[in-house]
Amino acid sequence: MTSTSTTKEYIVTLSSTLIESVKLAKSVAIIGNGGNLAIANHVGSDMNRYLDKFTFYPDAVHLSALSKDEPWHKSWIEYASKHADLILGITTRIKSPIADALASLPDDFDCYLFCPEQHPTVPTVVIDKNSCRRIDTNKDNLTFHEFEVEVLWQFYMLFHECGADLMTI
């Protein structure tokens, strides 16, 4: 089951299970890498403001403390799973440390992935290159920036579907 919202001619479809998960969660962890970590930080702040959720996301202190000079994603997700009702991951690859760490969580743990492809085991909001805003439609794949903008858009549509009254200019 899905919920569809239209802004001008642009259609976004979010699963009703994701919407319900966000509505029910009291604490939400959001993780990304690079530019997607900046998106995680941005939407985490706004999820707190608009939906009154306790949100957290990796920062430099967590990264250095948990990583012990090793890849940090799995350690951070394990840490987050002890404190969050829901974990949302943002990645451009289904074969990434974030996707792998989410897939390693217990089956009953509530988590979702925002990714250009459907993950085989983690519920995924697919950022489809054929239905999102494009800078250069001559390129076969999304640019990282197109992906980041689309993920941000999906989150604000999610906030709207969860009942947020978004600010206007």
How far is residue 102's CA from residue 110's CA, in Å, rounded to a whole number? 10
Q: What is the pLDDT of residue 67?
A: 65
- Residues 146, 132 contacting (CB under 8 angstroms): yes
Kindly give the confidence (pLDDT) of every residue in the chain, 169 residues in length, as a single tens digit, with 9 standing for 90 and above. Answer: 344 443 333 233 468 889 999 999 999 999 998 889 999 999 999 999 999 999 999 986 666 666 666 788 998 999 999 999 999 999 999 899 999 999 999 999 999 999 998 999 999 999 887 777 788 888 888 888 889 999 999 999 999 999 999 989 9
- Going from the C-alpha of 82 to that of each of 6, 107, 121, 138, 161, the distances in angstroms are 36, 15, 21, 44, 27
- Residues 94, 66 contacting (CB under 8 angstroms): no
Other beta carbons within 10 angstroms of residue 65's beta carbon come to: 13
Q: Which domain holds residue 85?
A: 2-161
Q: What is the pLDDT of residue 4?
A: 45
Query: At 151, is the secondary structure helix, strand, or coil?
Result: helix
Q: 14 has which bridge partners?
A: 3
Phi and psi of 34, rounded to 5°?
A: 60, -130
Q: What is the pLDDT of residue 1?
A: 39
Within-domain flag for 123: yes
Q: What is the pLDDT of residue 62?
A: 65
pTM: 0.87
Q: What is the pLDDT of residue 11?
A: 31
Q: What is the pLDDT of residue 134?
A: 80
Q: Residue 36 belongs to a domain with what CATH number?
A: 3.40.50.10490
Q: What is the pLDDT of residue 65?
A: 65
Within-domain flag for 166: no
How far is residue 41's CA from residue 57's CA, in Å, rounded to a whole number? 6
Within-domain flag for 90: yes
- State the total domains in the chain: 1
